[in-house]
Structure formats: structure tokens, C-alpha cells
Amino acid sequence: MGKRLSKDDWIKAGFQALTEAGPKALKAEPLARRLGTTKGSFYWHFDDVSAFQTAMMETWETRAYAEIVTLVEQQGTAVRKLRELAQIAAAGAPEDFGGIAAEPSIRAWARENPEVAKAVSQIDAKRMAYVQELFDAVGLTNPELTRVLYAAFVGMEELSTHDGQTNGPALGTLVDLILALHEADR
């Protein structure tokens, strides 16, 4: 008998399937085949496919905001927090997430699924509010800078999924440039 699968195993497999095959792969039977088990195991953990997809999005929302903010808040100053946030954004998916860079696939899924679109929109708003808080703490009050930096975070991850390049230096440079412009303006 094989290893008993946990809810997290299914969710992780869901993110892998989403990134490899898109949202059509987020059904019990293809996921069970992927994991080498039966649909019964799927239904042991989830009432239906909709509940599974909801659990996936709840997992993503926690990891895409709360866990990142917890890491960033360990830094001392707002400047250090901004730099740390840029490096986290550049690194993409953390290893405890299976190393799966799912966010570009989640954003693509959001274009066709209103519930996913709502979750992405909520996370975007929370993330931008957090970036704005950090900018406010260093005296940068222009909300356009928040959108520019956040768009760079989102776009760099998308770009990395296609070209495999590391974005840490580029995002670090952008943060430093924004901070330097602010210092020059004083």
C-alpha cells in the first residue's frame, strides 16, 4: 500500500497541474492519475472539485501575503523591508510551496474564473497597501510608485517563468532607484 496522501499533497499536486496543464487539470480524476491513486482519496479530503479549488486559493492567499509579510517584518527599517520584499518577489515560489512558481498560472486562471479573479484582486490590493505602508514610512507618498514597484514584482515573476533569469538584482536596483530619487528630492 502506498503513502497516504494529505490534503496538502493534493493541493501541491493541484498547483503543479495548474502550472503544467492549466485549470482543466484541476479535476479529481487527472489529479488522482498524477498522484498514482484513486479519486476516493481526493474525495476523502474535498467534498468536490469546487471545494478543492477553494482550498488551493486559500493556500495561495496565505502564502502570497501573510507568510511574505511575516518574513519582511523581521527586517528592521522600512528601507530594509522594501529591499527584502524585492528579494522575496524576485525569488518566486518558496521551497515549502514545492518550488512551484504558481502565481503566473493563477493569474492566467483568473482571466476565466471569477472566483479566482476576486482572490487575485484582493491579494493585489493587500500587497499594494503593504508596499504603500512601507513607502509612507520612508516618506514616499506617491501611490503611482507603489503601482510601478508592484507591477515590477508581478511582471518579473512572469518573465522568469519564460526566460529563467534571476530578477533579484533588477528588483533591488529598482527599489534603490526609487529610494535614491526620494533622497535627491529632499
**Per-residue pLDDT tens digits for 55-90:** 999 999 888 888 889 989 999 899 999 988 888 887
| HEC assignment per residue over 94-153 | CHHHCCCCCHHHHHHHHCCCHHHHHHHHHHHHHHHHHHHHHHHHCCCCCHHHHHHHHHHH
CA distances from 170 to 17, 24, 78, 153, 158 (A): 30, 34, 19, 10, 14
State how far the Cα of 62 lies from the Cα of 165, in Å rounded to an integer: 26
- For the whole model, what pTM was predicted? 0.85
Do residues 118 and 106 make contact, with C-beta atoms less than 8 angstroms apart?
no
State the amino acid at position 27 in one-letter form: K
Least confident among 30-34, 59-63, 107-111: 59-63
- Give, as one character, the DSSP assignment of residue 186: -
**100: confidence class by pLDDT, cuts 50, 70, 90:** low
Domain segments of the chain as ranges: 53-185
Report the chain's C-alpha Rg in angstroms.
Answer: 19
Do residues 100 and 94 make contact, with C-beta atoms less than 8 angstroms apart?
no
State the amino acid at position 109 in one-letter form: W
Is the pLDDT score of 99 beyond 80?
no
